[in-house]
Structures are given as C-alpha cells and as structure tokens.
Structure 1
C-alpha cells in the first residue's frame, strides 16, 4: 500500500480587488487628531498603497505569500493609529470581487480588507500545499504545514471577521474550508505514517479521523444552510464528489489496516470481515469518482483496488484451506486519532518594519510611560503558570496513539541486555573455574588462553559502568513516559506551580501595599504637575507693566512680593508634596524587602517547572537514541559471549589433550 500513487489534494482560488482604496480620510484624521501635516507622511502612505498593490498582484508562491502576510501585519499596525472600523471616523470604503458571482462587494470597514487578505493568505497556503511532491518526508511535512496554516486563516476569518464580510467569506463557508484543509493535513500525516512503516493499528486510527473529517464535510455541504446558498451548484457538486470519494477511500484504508492488525493477532475470521469491508468501501469510492471524473484519483483507486482484492482473495483461500475461522457479521469500531491542528502565524513578525513608526498615538505613549514606571510586574504580582509547550502536547498525542508500545520496546531491549550481560558473567566464571581445575601439565599450553581470558574480563569490567548507566537512563525514561501518558490536565497538576502562592496572605498584603504606593506616586506626580501649571499660568497672566503704569508711585519690589504672595498656598502644598517623597521611598524599600523572599520562591518554582518541562521533552526526543544505545549494548555483550564460547571450546580441548 505504501507504493500507491499519491491521492490528489485541492486548493482554493484567491479573491481579487480591482479598485484601489482612497486614504484621504486618513490624512484628514492625521491632521485633526495628531496635529501634524499629512504631507509629512506622503512617503508612508505611498509605501502602504504600493504594498497593497504588490500583495494583490503577486504570484501564488512563497514570495507572494510573504507579501500578503506583510500587508496583513501592516493593517494591524495601521488600525492601532486610525479608527477604521464601521461607523468610526476613519472608516473608508473597501471593494473586493465576489468569488462565485460577477459582483463587487464594498464595505466601509477595514475588517473587510483584513478578512479578504487573510482569506487570500489561506488560499495561497492551500496552493503551495498542493504543489508539494509529497514523495518523501520533507515534501510531506511541508505540505502538511501549508494545509494547517491555511486552516488557521480560514478559521480566523470565520471567528473574528464574520460581522464585516461578503457572502463568499461567510462564517459557515470558512469553517468548511478550514476543515477541508485540516483533513488534507491529516492525509499528509497518514501518508507519512505509511512510508514510515508504522503499526497497522496506528494507520487505521489516523485513517478513521479522515473518515470523520470527510463525513462532517459532506454533512456541512448538504445541510440547508448558508453554504448551500452561497456556493454555485456546479462547485457544490464538485466538493460533494471530493468528500464522498475520499470518505469511502479512507473507510477502505481503515478496514485494510484493521485487517492487517487482525492477521497479526491471529483473528483470521475478523481479518476476512475487514477485507470484505475494504473492498466494499473502495467500490463505493470508485463509483463516486465516476461522477467526479478525477483521473489522478482514478489511478490511485485502481492501484489500491488491486492490492485489496489480492489480499482478500488470498485471505479467503487461506481460511478455506487452513484456518476455517468463522467470519463475524460486524466489525469493531476504530477509535480515531487527530494529529493536526490549525497553525497560526504572527502578524507582528510578518509585518516587517512599521511603516508609520513615526506616528505614535497618545494613548500608546501614555501606556508606555505607565509601563516604564511600573516595569517588571513579577515584583508585585503572581501570574498564572505558562502553558505547556507544543512539543509536549505533540509527545502526549503521539503516546496516546502508540499506547505503551515505546515502553515495551525499551523494556524488551533492556531484558535482552540484562540477559546478555548475565550470560557473559556466567561464561567468564565457568572459564575461570575451568582453568583452575586444569591439570598442572597443561599450564604452559593454557598460558595464551589465560591472557585472552584476562583481556575479556577487563573488557567486561570496563563495560559494566556503561551497562549500569543505561539501566539508570532506562529507568528514568520509563518514569518520564509514565508522566507523558497522563492527560494534559494531570500533567499540569504534577508540575511545579506558582498558583498556590496566590493564597499566601502575607504576599497578598505586600502586593496590595506595593500597588497602593505606586498609585500614590502617580497621584502625587499629577498633583505636582497641576500645582506647577497653575502657578505658571497665574504668573504669566499678571501683566507687570500694566500694574506699574496704573500705580506709578507703588514700590515695585513690594508690588512683586504681593503678587507672589498670592501663590503661597500652592507653594506650601508643593513643598509638602516634595517632602512626602522621602516617606514614600522608604515605604517602597520596606515593601520590596518583604517581597524579596516571595520573588525568590516564585523564580525558583518557575525554574523548576521549566526544568521539568525540558526533561519531559528531552525524554521524548531521546527515546530513539536510548533504544539504539541499548541495542549497541546488546550487540556488544552478544559478541563478547560468542568469543568466550570459542575460548571455552579451546580450553576444553587443551585440558583434555
């Protein structure tokens, strides 16, 4: 089955926009709200429009994908400076062509632009996934990554932008396309599992998930919902054919690999039942493909049919002549295993340099100032534990599919190693005893043999520490595998955590006091600013020249002193404010000192948690390496045992002679 032609994959067409966007409203807002000249930002606006044009006209390759992601990232940055959603001051009309009908859809909402661009990113990802050869591990992995990335884009459109999109970007349709991409990513995993020669039970579970995927897709397409109204009849019929063919095809794969599992366990009647089901499912796929008229699919189906028919006829013959097993009327249910998920990209990373980096909104500037003053929140807050790394989720998912197979392989190898080491020790003892019991007249002839025996004993002694180290590593590996077989919730609960520290009353009081003091610092800073502003304003409003002209006989010094005396109350408050800073600083030092032990404990807990996570991930990654090292040990002791047996034969001959 591993030699079957690759099953075809399908992609989606991109959206187009023939009308440019008008940015005059952005320039007006820039001048009115930021108080800057719009002409000073002509180069930035031109760069944005050029980027949009390049992204929309780019080819469907990695370069075009990068441009689309960059434009999408720049849109996120632009939104932080200009309110551009529907009914907001900078809402500007955006026009895109509909995918399925000859119509142009226009919305005065930047979310429509975002949704269309994100949809195109997903479409290009689907095209790139289909272009991969998928004939080796690298090609399969690349295709799988593209399909998972496409699934995230379509899912994101359905979740976030559903209120501002055109009919061809409607949520239900986006969910259908997202699931179709996930299904094709799972197909890549299935193909990789076949090429790797994984166990039949694993292949059956992966294929069962594909049966579930395409069954759900068929239901979504046939339901009387939005999808049926949006997609034209011919396109809907084409999708329906794809889903029907692939669902039946993967039903045949579930049955085929389940039959192999039954054969491995000696259940020959069940094997025949599964192979019969495989033939029936494949016939259904062939019948559905007659309407689809996909030549590439037909080639794959014909190849698989030859394999399954041959297997079924051979199994039927064996059962009639040898096993005479009863064929059950029903077959057991196969549990599915989903090994793919939507794969997101980071718009901030994809955006590149910020085109409008010179334009900083006031609220951003204020927030940045507050952050600078209250940096390092770990000094006065206990946050939640960081989520488990993706590598750990992947390891747990793989173990859920494999069960305890990995542990059994390691245990079996370790038993072989222990047995081989014991055999060597036993044989060395026999040889040493044989030399002791040998007659005195054979001493001269045994001397070369004794030299060889001494060398073998030395080699065995030197190998013993490595043997002990392997046993210890295998024991630790088994413990870590037991942890990885837990559910994610159980695994989280077993790791070092900081969440229990939130209940510490002393810590809570210290944190509250620190926040209160920081609030007081902010309050007194504002008070000083207000007092200084009031004093400056009043002094500037006093026209000294007019006063002197109105009262020419008044002593100027006394006049100025009287004017300044009006500010005495404010100056008193200002001096009190400044004097209070020393007390606040002392209180801050004291509360930081109280928090120091807690901060140290939090840091230690987080370090312990990170070390435990790294150990678990390393355990999973080092499993194959450890297995190879144990096998090397088995081979070493087996080879040594073989040489010792030769020595034993020689020593017996010498003793007799």
Structure 2
C-alpha cells in the first residue's frame, strides 16, 4: 500500500503555523494494465499489445502521484498530470471498467471507501491536488511579501479546486464517498482556503503599511469568511471528520479579525479626530478579545488543541487593544470629552473582498494541456471513445426494433393472416382431394409413423392405465397415512380415559393439536389427487372418442390408404366445373408465389440490416468534432447522435411502403380466393365420393393432432405421478413415525413394558378394545406387529 506521509506543512503538526493545511488522502496500490488490456481485447476487439506503453505509463503515473513523498511542487505536478490523463481516458473507457480503487478519509485514516469507479479515482486525486495547493501555501513565509503573494495564489487555487470538486466532480461518482468529500466538508474547506487567502492579503497589507481603514475592511472580510467556514464545519455529519481543534481555531481567528477590523478602524478614527468613535470601536475590539479568552479557556479545560502561535497572536492582540482602549478612554475623559456611541450605533465596516476561488485552468480544462509539457501526450489516443461504442450499440437497438419488431413482424403477421384465411377455407386440403386423389397427404403419413413408433392405440392405452394405477397408488398411500393418524387419535382417547385430573396422562398434548400439519398435508394431497383424477378422466374420454382413429393410424400405410375413400380420376368431369377448379388452383399458385417472394424480401431486408454499420460514420463525426475542438477531451452525449440515427434509419422508409402494398395486394388476392373457393364448394357438392375422401383426410389429420396432445399429457402426467409418489410416501412414513412415537409415549405414561397393553388402553370410551387383556386374560405378552402400525395381537 502506498500511503502519503504527513507533510511538514501539515497544520496539525506545526505549532508555529497560524494557518491550517489539508492532509492528503491515502490510497491502496492499484494496477491498471491487466484489467484494461482484458477490456480492450473483449469489448473493443483490438489487440491490447498496441497499447502496452500506454498501460505501463498509466500505472507509473498513478504510482508517482501516490508515492510517499513530502510536500513539494513536484507532488502537485505529478497529481495534476495523473488527473489530466484520467480525465482523458474517461472518454475512452466506461467508469466501471472493472478496476477497484480504495481511498482513505484524509482526516480519519481508519475510514475508507472502495469502488470500481474511475470518477471516484479522479475525485480523490483532485482532492489531493487541492491539499497540495493548501500545503504549498502554508509552507510560504508569513513575513515576506512575495511569499505571501504566492501563498495567496495557492490558497485561491485550493479553494477553486475544492469548489470544483464539490460542484461537479463528486456528483459524477458512483461510489459511496467518505465524509471528507461530502458537500458540507468540501464547502468548509473551500471557505477555509478563502479565509487564509484573505488573511495573506491582510498580512501583506500590514507589511506594506497600507491605510488603517483599508486594512480594517480586509480584516472584516477575513472574519466574515471564517464565520461561513464555521457554519459548514458545525454540521452534525462532520462531527467525527473535522480535525480536533479546527473549529476552535476558526472561532479564534474569526474573533481575532473582528477585533482587528475594529482596532484598525479605531486607529483611523484617531487620525481623523473622531475620539468618541475610537473609544467605542476599541471597546468592541476588547469585547472580541474577551470572547477569544473564553474559547481559549474552554480549549485548555478539555484538551489543548489550539496552536501556540495562535494563542500568542491572540494574547498580543489583547494586550495591544487593552492598552489602546485605556489610553483612548483616559484621553477622551480628560481632554476631548467626545460622546462615545453605543456598539449598535457604530457604522458597519464594509468588507473588502480580495480572495475568491480560482480553479486552475489545468484542472478545469485539462484537455488544453494534453500533448504539452504539463500533462504529456494523451494516453490511448488511438482507442475509439467508449461513447462511440455506446452510440453504435444504441443504433443497433433502434435498427433491430425497426427491422425485426416493426417491419419483419408486420410481414410475418400478413403471412399469418393469409394462412388463417386459407385454413378457415380448408385450403389446400380440399384441393388435394382433386389434385392427388390417390395416396395420403404427407402430414398424415408422418403422423402415422410417429403413432406407430409410440405403440399406437395400445401404447396410449397403456399410458392411460398407468396414470389411473398411479392415482390409485397415491390414494392408497394417503389412506395409510390417514389411518395411522386416526389410530393414534383413538389411542390418545384411551390414554385420557379415566386419567386423574392434573396427572401426566390428563395433561398429555391432545392428538388434534399435534396432527394439524399432517391433516393439512393429507387434505392438500387428496385435493391434488382428485383434480388429477378429473384430468385423467378427461384424457381417457378423449382417447376413447378418438380410439378408432388412433387404431387406424397405428396400422400399416397400405391399411390406412385402403380405409380412406379412393378416386382414380378427377370426379369433376363437367367442363364448367373443371374451369372453376383451375381458377382456384391458379389463385392458390399466386398465393404460394406471393409468400415465396415475401420470404425473399424478408431475407433481403435482414441482409441490408446486417450490412448496415454506423460505426464508420460515428468515427468520421468524432474526427470532425475533434478537428474543430481546442482540446482532445471530447465530451460526447448520446443525444448528440440522434440526427445521425434518424438519417441512417431513413433508408428503411421505403419498406413501410412495400408493406402497405403487400397488405393491399394480399387483401385483393384473398378476396379472389374466397370467391373461387365458394364456387368450388358449390361445384363439388354433387360429388359425395370427394366429400367422403376430404372428410376422411380431415378426420385423420385431426386425429394425429389429438394423439400428440394425449401422448404429451400422459407423459407429463407420468412425471407428475412419479414425483407425487415420492412426496406421498414421505408423508405416510412421517405419519406412521409420529403415531409410533406417540404410542411409545403412551406406554411409558401407563408404566408398562414394551409389548404389554395396560388395562386403560384395553378400553375405548365405548368399551374394551377387542383382543385386549380385558377380553383375553389367557393371552399374556401382547407384541407389536411392525407390519400393522398401532395394531396389536398375541403371537401364535
């Protein structure tokens, strides 16, 4: 694991610093190369070897950015370079590419967050960029004007980075983040950096001997921003995240700069001979010093967290203001006698805002620096952006919806409607009796072969008998289970009969309480068997009804042909009738041709769709936009390709016209078929032989379907009964085991040895149980026969 070491500029470790720095987030070691290489090979269908150098450089960038080094400008440069490359590769890969990242809370090392999310990784790196700016600022000298100017810039950049992180970057993360990256914490850090940037301006102004009135305004804004930072840090969700002492540090600083603003304004009043206002402002400043003393006292009572430098600064200020207040009060009382206004009557000091968040351009627009010295050449430049793959996939979905689910489905529906109409007219079966008067249709021949292979009518009767026998066997198992429960209930009554109140026999759990689940199971399976018997009866009636046809279809082919009425020539010999048949045959030929041509059209449409690849056009558009863009980081959104999708899908509009034409042509052709078929029906109505043959073929065709239905149902029933038998046997055994256990318990309660029946068990509530000792005193040593549960008899 690579972890940042605490830097020397870290505010929590530097007692001499009056500024707070932000510690780096620590991270665990992560390697890109293997996961990205596998993703490139599997998802982009490109050789990962072409990107071997890019993979190596990316791993080196992360390792360098997270190396254990003290704070320096190089740390900032390494993190910024890694951040810039991350921003670029996010346009090449999906965020959840399959690489896991773990980052610790910057202020609570024990807290961490993990996720397979490149946005999460980029956000954590950006946090460390803000921390690096803060630490560089804290490392500058507080007594040198140029150092203070550099610190001012660093703090503004830190504030800008934390603000950018809060407003944009964190919102993109798909991982649950640690509290140091929560909106309240980032808002607090942004305000804190602005406080300290404005504080640098104040310190530089003091070193430059700026007018006291202006210094007062600068200090007033420092106090205002510290107040804003305190409000963010006081959120309950941050109680365990804000470092110890930070809140008191910010309170002391806020009060210090309020006192500073009033003190400086008092000096300006003295210079302008406003002696009464001078006194009032020094009194207001003194009140702030008193409040600081309360914060310091509370801090020291619990555990001193305030830094020595801050305490010394506050003491010096209190001493200075206290001395000036006494001098001003004395002078005014003795010499000037100027009225002293109340604190509420004092004119507010207008803050002078100098510090403001400043997002470094390399953070806000890293693409502008790719290819330059700051970020280096962009990695994976030749890889097609991930959004292009997404757009191509989306277009494929749109195309599939249009081609398969709209166009081809409409054509298939037309064909299905055509088949439905022909079936309702019994075509082409009615024509087959004319066109093929000798022999059987292929559908009947194939069906007959299947029926013979399954044993014919005898085979299906055997399946039917097996189903009935399986139902009876199941009923027998249920009866045995119920019998065991009934026997146990009777024995339970006998045990209670004559039992003394409060005795173990009287308090024994009743049978009806213990057998609720068993009884429910028995009732459930009785209902199942009853419904199965109804289903079997329906199938049996079905088999009996079609039995003669099943028997015929199970016969050899020549026997089936002999049973079907035969014709050796076309019985419709009348020329007018022959013309009617020829016309119907012509229409049926046109129907066949129409369906054949439609199939060819469907295949052509599928071929066009298969060859329709939008990827080259997407790549061309990407290259065009890249040429126009000032940055290589192109942020594409899928909605940007909607116009291109519509343009490419326009080529299928002509197919909608084709479908409308097919629908109209089919409707006209089917109307002609109906008309010709009606004439054909009238023409053959005087030829009973044809009607008999057609009827026979129709019946045989229906019988084939009925046989298949019955066979399927009976085979399915066999599987059902096999499974049911296992469940019923388990239930029967459970009931018998329960009854046997209760019997042994009863024997123990009666205090007799196994094999003996006590007198109380020899009587039922209505009298003695036949065969017990009360009737057979000459038959000792009754023995339980395992083959007959709960029944007892004397050994022979």
Q: TM-score, normalised by structure 2?
A: 0.44
- Is 1:39 matched with 2:54? no
- Are the counterparts in 1 of residues 220 and 258 from structure 2 also a CA contact under 8 Å? yes
Q: Deviation digits for residues 172-231 of structure 1, max 9, x if unmatched?
A: 11111111111100100111122222222221111111111122222222233x223x51
1:7 CA displacement:
7.0
Q: Who is 1:167 aligned against?
A: 179
Distance 1:174 1:184 in 2: 15
Q: Is the 8 A contact 2:164 2:359 kept in 1?
A: no
Structure 1 residue 31 displacement after superposition = 2.5
Residue segments in structure 1 that go unaligned for 5+ positions in a row: 377-518, 528-657
User: Do the aligned residues in 2 keep the contact of 1:30 with 1:36 (CA within 8 Å)?
Assistant: yes
Distance (Å, rounded) in 2 between the aligned partners of 1:45 and 1:374: 28
**Conserved? CA contact 1:83–1:91, under 8 Å:** no
Show the counterpart of 1:63: 74
Note the residue ranges of structure 2 that are not aligned, 5 or more in a row. 1-14, 300-304, 389-617, 631-642, 652-796
In structure 1, C-alpha distance between the alignment counterparts of 2:627 and 2:224, rounded to whole Å: 54
Partner of 2:121: 113
Whether 1:324 aligns to 2:337 is yes
> 262-271 or 21-30: which moved more?
21-30
1:282 to 272, 281, 289: 289
Q: 1:434-458 CA distances to partner (integer Å, 9 max, x unpaired)?
A: xxxxxxxxxxxxxxxxxxxxxxxxx
The correspondence of residues 240-279 of structure 1 with structure 2, limited to 5 A, is 240-279=247-286
Q: Look up the match of 2:159.
A: 151
Tell me the equivalent position of 1:98: 105
1:91 is displaced (CA, Å) by 4.4
Displacement of 1:360 after TM fit? 4.8
Q: How does 1:244-643 map to 2 (within 5 A)?
A: 244-290=251-297, 291=299, 292-330=305-343, 331-345=346-360, 346=362, 347-348=366-367, 349=369, 350-361=374-385, 363=388, 365-367=619-621, 369-371=623-625
8 Å Cα contact 2:248/2:306 also seen in 1: no
Q: Residue 101 of structure 1: CA displacement?
A: 4.8
Q: CA deviation at 1:42?
A: 1.6
Q: Return the alpha-carbon distance in structure 2 between the equivalents of residues 26 and 220 of structure 1.
A: 40
Q: Return closer, same or farther for 1:244/1:103 CA change in 2, 3 Å cut-off.
A: closer
Quote how far apart the aligned CAs of 1:125 are. 1.3
Aligned to 2:219: 207
What is the distance in 2 between the residues matched to 1:63 and 1:104?
Answer: 26
- Alignment match, 1:77: 88
Would you say the 8 A contact 1:262–1:270 is kept in 2? yes
> What is the alpha-carbon distance in structure 1 between the residues aligned to residue 214 and residue 629 of structure 2?
50
Quickly say closer, same or farther: Cα 1:250–1:373, change in 2 above 3 A: closer
Relative to 1, partners in 2 of residues 1:372 and 1:27: Cα closer, same or farther, differing over 3 Å? closer
Distance in 1 (CA, whole Å) between partners of 2:79 and 2:251 is 33
Structure with bigger helix share is 1
Counterpart for residue 62 of structure 2: 52
CA offset digits 1:396-453 (Å, max 9, x no partner): xxxxxxxxxxxxxxxxxxxxxxxxxxxxxxxxxxxxxxxxxxxxxxxxxxxxxxxxxx
1:182 aligned onto 2:194: yes
Q: Deviation per CA, 1:465-502, whole angstroms, max 9, x where unpaired?
A: xxxxxxxxxxxxxxxxxxxxxxxxxxxxxxxxxxxxxx
Q: 1:146 to 1:288 in 2, by over 3 A?
A: same
Match of 1:138 in 2: 146
Say how many residue pairs are matched: 370
- The separation in 2 between residues aligned to 1:12 and 1:372, in whole angstroms, is 38
- 1:305 is displaced (CA, Å) by 2.6
Distance 1:374 1:101, change over 3 A: closer
Which residue of structure 2 lines up, in the alignment, with residue 647 of structure 1? none
Does structure 2 conserve the Cα–Cα contact (< 8 Å) formed by 1:7 and 1:296?
yes
Query: Quick one: which of 126, 129, 149 aligns to 2:137?
Result: 129
CA distance in 2, matches of 1:375, 1:109: 27
Q: Of the two, which has the highest radius of gyration?
A: 2
Task: Name the CA shift for 1:111/1:299 in 2 (closer, same or farther; >3 Å).
Answer: same
Comparing 35-44 with 159-168, which one deviates more in the overlay? 159-168
Deviations 1:118-162 (A, max 9, x none): 111111211111110021211001111111111122112211233
- Whether the 8 Å CA contact 1:140–1:192 is kept in 2: the answer is yes
1:117 CA drift (Å) = 0.5
